[in-house]
């Protein structure tokens, strides 16, 4: 996009984009009538466009749109044909919507919004609170004055678009690059560490129905400190009732920050916290067809991955045009990456079963006798791995979500699973399939009982040490069968 900088090598630096995250709500052209969404393609038909192919599994496929290119018929022809979600590149950012303090300007945002809705697309708002692309008047503020200005800006912009958008990127890029896993040093951060929470609470009050998202780059690799920092924030927010509905992973893949095979684990891990996930600004240096297919399949494998957005239509529209990173070349021709994405979407066309939102929270399960946590050894995601006791460490392999289906989920798609119904049968993780051997009663006396077997979750041999394995056993009332949700 026009205001983005070329990323430095080694960093997927999103510097200015508008993102959108996920599933939609009511539509309506500003000042015009509401239009209906296009019907989904039947699941047994191979769709011929990205948006239709994604719709077969209940997802969207979107793009970033710049108002300045809406007069380019080649650009709008491709965009109108292929996509089902739109993110304005710059038109809803802070400097565009409030150029003078207290004086709002929605002309650019409305132009993109109206075009999208007139073409049957939903819109993702981007972005309400960000350290970058602040107008000069905001850059000059600090402390309580800046905090109040942020609140006023959120209220003013969200009031204009209330009931019209699918998602809002409430906060963008608040975490630092590098190995700290901490917050970025910005003028907003210096107003107090609670600024992100305040932004989300303000946004929820301003529009109770739109999905509220946190959006960032370089959070795709599960082992990265930055990813863990964002994950810990989202987990904390969910545990305290801070209103966050989704996480956007920008997904700018290049030689400095390449696609890694644990990207799916990242999506699953965030989803396990009870939030939707979306790929919000996808581009791939050189447009590797394999990487594009892998990313698409990763989203399709996670039921709470609601959709994908590429950051631009043609290579010539990209903020990184020299990397030729998009699905259409500068002349508007489909590239091999386009075909790989379309084929993946068509192959994954069955409608997923949404990941049940946790009804009793997400967090560790701690043995009363041992004080240690129910743990998946070595953070493995392999079906059949027996769970154990281990020192509580807050990591993802100790975070269990209680679902409305009576499952105990880890990683978003693995369930606590009994390998049988008799005494001594191992308790393991396994891909969730809805069977009774994956359903559990969490009782007020601290026991966790298998629905199928009627037996208790038990630490083998009344053990309390690290590595003690977990099994099913006849309920005895012992401390090695008592568990707390802490």
- Just list the catalytic residues: 173, 281
Which pair of structure tokens corresponds to residue 236?
């904390």
> Residues, the chain, total?
486
Element (H, E) at 51: helix 50-55
| Contact (CB, 8 A) for 303 and 271 | yes
Rounded distance between C-alpha atoms, residue 230 and residue 184, angstroms: 11
**Burial class, 347, CB count within 10 angstroms (exposed 0-12 / middle 13-18 / buried 19+):** middle
Rounded distance between C-alpha atoms, residue 40 and residue 6, angstroms: 37
- Who's near 436: CB < 8 A, 6+ residues apart? 451, 452
- Who's near 334: CB < 8 A, 6+ residues apart? 327, 328
Query: How far from the centroid of its chain's Cα atoms is residue 456's Cα?
Result: 35
Radius of gyration over every alpha carbon of the chain, rounded to an integer in angstroms: 23
- How far is CA 323 from each of CA 10, 142, 287, 326, rounded to the nearest angstrom? 14, 38, 8, 9
Which pair of structure tokens corresponds to residue 484?
């707390």
Closest CA to 341 of 302, 315, 307: 307
Q: CB-hemisphere CA count at 13 Å for 351? A: 7
The residue whose two tokens read 């199928």 is 452
Name the DSSP letter for residue 26: -
Phi, psi of 318 (to 5 degrees): -75, 150
Rounded distance between C-alpha atoms, residue 62 and residue 50, angstroms: 8
Query: Which residue intervals of 122-262 are DSSP H helices?
Result: 136-139, 143-160, 195-206, 225-240
| Beta bridge pairs of residue 366 | 373, 484
Rounded distance between C-alpha atoms, residue 266 and residue 262, angstroms: 7
């Amino acid at each position: 996009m026009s205001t983005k900088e070329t990323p430095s090598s080694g960093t997927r630096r999103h510097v200015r984009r508008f993102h959108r995250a996920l599933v939609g709500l009511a539509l309506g052209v500003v000042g015009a009538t509401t239009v209906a969404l296009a019907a989904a393609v039947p699941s047994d038909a191979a769709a011929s466009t990205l948006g239709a192919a994604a719709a077969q599994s209940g997802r969207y496929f979107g793009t970033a749109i710049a108002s300045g290119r809406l007069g380019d018929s080649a650009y709008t022809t491709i965009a109108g044909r292929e996509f089902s979600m739109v993110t304005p590149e710059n038109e809803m950012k802070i400097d565009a919507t409030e150029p003078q303090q207290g004086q709002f300007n929605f002309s650019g945002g409305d132009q993109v919004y109206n075009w999208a809705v007139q073409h049957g697309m939903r819109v993702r708002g981007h972005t309400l609170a960000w350290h970058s692309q602040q107008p000069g008047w905001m850059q000059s503020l600090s402390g309580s004055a800046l905090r109040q200005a942020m609140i006023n800006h959120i209220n003013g912009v969200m009031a204009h678009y209330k009931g019209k958008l699918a998602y809002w990127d409430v906060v963008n890029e608040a975490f630092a690059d590098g190995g700290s896993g901490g917050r970025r040093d910005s003028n907003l951060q210096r107003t107090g560490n609670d600024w992100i929470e305040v932004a989300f609470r303000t946004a929820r009050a301003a529009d109770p129905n739109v999905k509220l998202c946190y959006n960032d780059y370089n959070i795709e690799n599960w082992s990265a400190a930055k990813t863990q920092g964002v994950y810990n924030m989202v987990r904390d927010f969910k545990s305290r009732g801070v209103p966050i509905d989704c996480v956007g992973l920008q997904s700018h893949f290049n030689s400095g920050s390449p696609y890694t095979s644990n990207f799916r684990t990242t999506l699953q891990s965030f989803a396990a916290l009870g939030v939707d996930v979306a790929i919000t600004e996808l581009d791939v240096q050189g447009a590797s067809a394999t990487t594009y297919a892998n990313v698409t399949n990763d989203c399709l494998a996670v039921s709470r991955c609601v959709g994908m957005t590429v950051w631009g239509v043609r290579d010539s529209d990209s903020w990184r045009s020299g990397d030729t990173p998009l699905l259409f070349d500068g002349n508007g021709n489909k590239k091999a990456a386009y075909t790989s994405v379309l084929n993946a979407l068509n192959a994954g066309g069955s409608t997923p079963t949404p990941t049940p939102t946790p009804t009793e929270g997400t967090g560790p399960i701690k043995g009363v006798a041992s004080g240690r946590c129910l743990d998946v050894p070595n953070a493995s995601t392999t079906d059949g791995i027996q769970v154990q006791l281990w020192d509580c460490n807050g990591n993802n392999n100790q975070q269990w979500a209680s679902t409305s289906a009576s499952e105990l989920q880890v990683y978003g798609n693995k369930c606590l699973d009994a390998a049988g119904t008799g005494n001594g049968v191992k308790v393991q993780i396994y891909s969730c399939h809805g069977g009774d051997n994956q359903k559990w009663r969490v009782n007020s006396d601290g026991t966790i009982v298998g629905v199928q077997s009627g037996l208790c979750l038990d630490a083998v041999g009344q053990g309390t040490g690290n590595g003690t394995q977990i099994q099913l056993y006849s309920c005895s009332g012992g401390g090695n069968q008592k568990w707390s949700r802490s």
